């Protein structure tokens, strides 16, 4: 039991250390206007959960291109749906790395 107690106590100290770390705030680099759910007539196949526009860098290989992002990828200020009710009501406060990189590429 002594070794077990030592392992548990070490683990608890580690957990306490993790709890004391201040959560990092990830800045949103590209301003955006919150998206909207497209009207049924504009979205007959329910392909878009939210439609929005974010201007990325003015130059780069994706400059001027239209990109679709699946609704299970974090986009700050855009409700996450993941095609289900599991994430209903959750809106991320930061962009996924892939979103930031797409915007950096234009």
With bands split at pLDDT 50, 70 and 90, how would you rate the model's confidence at 22?
Answer: confident
Task: Kindly state the average pLDDT of the residues 56-83.
Answer: 90
- Model pTM score: 0.72
Q: Is the pLDDT of residue 105 over 80?
A: yes
Show me where the domains of the chain are located.
Answer: 27-106
In this model, does residue 1 exceed pLDDT 80? no
Average pLDDT for 76-93? 86
pLDDT for the residue 40: 93
Phi-psi region of 28 (alpha: psi -120 to 50; beta: other; left: phi over 0): beta
User: Could you give the CA distance from residue 3 to residue 27 in angstroms, rounded to a whole number?
Assistant: 44
Cβ contacts of residue 58 below 8 Å, gap of 6+? 106
Position 102 confidence tier, pLDDT thresholds 50, 70, 90: very high
Q: What is the mean pLDDT of the chain?
A: 89
């Amino acid at each position: 039991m002594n070794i077990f107690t030592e392992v548990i106590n070490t683990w608890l100290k580690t957990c306490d250390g993790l709890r004391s770390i201040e959560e990092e705030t990830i800045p949103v680099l590209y301003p955006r206007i919150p998206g909207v759910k497209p009207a049924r007539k504009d979205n007959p196949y329910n392909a878009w959960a939210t439609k929005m526009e974010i201007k990325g860098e003015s130059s780069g290989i994706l400059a001027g291109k239209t990109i679709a992002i699946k609704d299970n990828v974090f986009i700050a200020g855009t409700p996450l749906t993941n095609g289900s009710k599991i994430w209903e009501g959750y809106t991320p406060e930061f962009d996924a790395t892939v979103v930031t990189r797409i915007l950096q590429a234009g």
